Structure 1
């Protein structure tokens, strides 16, 4: 559904954070002692130069300590809280807003399970108001950032003038299996740790609520979110999974080699439906903010939409410098676009994420 009038929600700030330690692909191969030429080729031909990760402590012989599923869940919680808090603080600082001004918080993660979730823990740690509404989106995968943004913009639209926040927290180094197979090696060559937050406000119109002056006003140059279009591909529901590995005694990602072709075959129809609701064409889109799902996935999207490498520059840059950051990756690209300073009033943009289901999510922006 796409909206063109009324109190449109607007992205007014964005912030990102990563763990302090980063590694080149060559360094990771060395740390884990990987000598298999096939696996080395996967790492070194991934279009990824560096990723931020929280690696396990090393044993006396210098090799990384084997982590149990319990160790991984604790890492998900501890590292996730740190980078999630940093992303939110960066987002609020850019907006010159205080934590107690946040009226709604949505947290997204697919790299572990917590109860209570990140939303409750962050409300406590950041000093958000106890009355803050909250939502945890768990286990939806790389596409989930736009599912969360849809929830946040929906809330903001019904609460004009109030500040809503979403944060994606993905500690992908807390969700790995290392067994030397090609399947797990592809996963381990791709993902990085990171968190990204976005602040959303719908402008308050005239009326009693607006004149009461009980809520602060927010200014910025961010775009309005006009609407969304989704596509789930049930025939490919097994193509991307995070399920239990009996042999390893932990959860494990599975990525089907056909994923790029599945996404590519359905991306054009999804975008056409998003734009058709307001009579736009792909040539009307000035900016593309696309999930950095991997080299082949990015190429499939680019070819099927007729985009250039310049159109995909931020997506490619995020993949190169951070790897696949799961649900928060598109906001890293969005932050780069924002800081680039090339957008103009009236420009349109498309956000796109892809993930398990198999699912394609899109959003239409207007500056």
Structure 2
């Protein structure tokens, strides 16, 4: 498959989404969780007896040191037998609920809130299909109020965390004083396929299991100024879909393997990079801000080449994307929740200052780039 790398089309189209009202929602908490065992890349190669030099090179040159994975135990012959699709769906359900619950609790703790304070729960996942959705399963698992409103975003891929944040920020703006949470839970081990192809090697070398949650709240009209929640205000969103690259990232049925399989076109990093400037400039249009005014960049840990392409095309430094690089190194690509792992690391640094602006960016199937503008 070949994807054209022509210059992006002129901006045109609709304006960025600006959240209404003088008191936009704030991000008031974040939490993350992982599951399974932390494997180094050599560990994974050894566990599956991978000796092909080309495949090993993909793993060992990925800029990933370790990832959390839940893979089948060796049988009596020391062989890890591929799991059928039904077992993978069961794995996804188990891991998504477990990691999701842990990330949600950590997020609420950081927000100074309890499960009883939650009024809307939006769950995001791509690595398995659930009906009832993950939100309903977590409400039952954790004993959340049965009247909590909920939504589930399924199948959008690595970009979906910001798609959800956009929708839930609108909910929070419409319900001042009430707490909403976006939870991204991705059991990437439930999307693994074991064969000797380079297609599979690219995917198996990259993804890890993880969940991230982010809490939002708009100040209520009667809130005392001193009670205004801490955390950045969510100001705007901008999206860019690249229709000519719609098949460049896909999760579809592999008839030979009898299961779902993920595909990444090798040109994806360059296509994403070529469109990054377009969508960021649209996000900042009308704000009076330039890219050089953005103090904090929180970008999806899509892979080494994706990160390099974004750095080059946006004129950033490695320091600007230090959190993204660190998350890739320590967790791999945890799909839709990756940017929340980066956001958590930024908060732990305690370097943000009032007035600072930040840009959140995710990429995924479509091919799509999603962005958000925040201000502390």
Q: TM-score, normalised by structure 1?
A: 0.96
Please report how far the alpha carbon of residue 265 of structure 1 lies from its aligned counterpart in structure 2 after TM superposition.
1.0
> What is the aligned counterpart of 1:255 among 247, 264, 273?
264
CA distance in 2, matches of 1:21, 1:169: 17
CA distance in 1, matches of 2:292, 2:113: 36
Q: Which runs of 5+ in 2 are unaligned?
A: 1-16
**Residue aligning to 1:352:** 361
Contact residue 89 and residue 128 of structure 2 kept, 8 A: yes
Q: Deviations over 1:50-81 (max 9, x none)?
A: 00011112201222132000010000001111
Please report how far the alpha carbon of residue 218 of structure 1 lies from its aligned counterpart in structure 2 after TM superposition.
7.0
CA distance in 2, matches of 1:132, 1:66: 39
Q: Which runs of 5+ in 1 are unaligned?
A: 212-216
**Residue aligning to 2:248:** 239
Report whether the alignment pairs 1:78 with 2:94: yes
Please report how far the alpha carbon of residue 250 of structure 1 lies from its aligned counterpart in structure 2 after TM superposition.
0.3
> What is the aligned counterpart of 2:195 among 179, 186, 189?
179
Contact residue 82 and residue 193 of structure 2 kept, 8 A: no
4+ runs of 1 displaced by more than 4 Å? 217-220
Please report how far the alpha carbon of residue 100 of structure 1 lies from its aligned counterpart in structure 2 after TM superposition.
1.4
**Residue aligning to 2:9:** none
> What is the aligned counterpart of 1:153 among 152, 156, 169?
169
CA distance in 2, matches of 1:4, 1:167: 24
Report whether the alignment pairs 1:195 with 2:201: no
Secondary structure at 2:104's aligned position in 1?
Answer: helix
CA distance in 1, matches of 2:370, 2:227: 28
Report whether the alignment pairs 1:114 with 2:123: no
**Residue aligning to 1:326:** 335
> What is the aligned counterpart of 1:268 among 257, 273, 277?
277
Q: TM-score, normalised by structure 2?
A: 0.93
> What is the aligned counterpart of 2:112 among 86, 93, 96?
96
Secondary structure at 2:215's aligned position in 1?
Answer: strand
CA distance in 1, matches of 2:29, 2:284: 24
User: What do you get for the CA RMSD once the two structures are aligned?
Assistant: 1.3
CA distance in 1, matches of 2:299, 2:72: 31
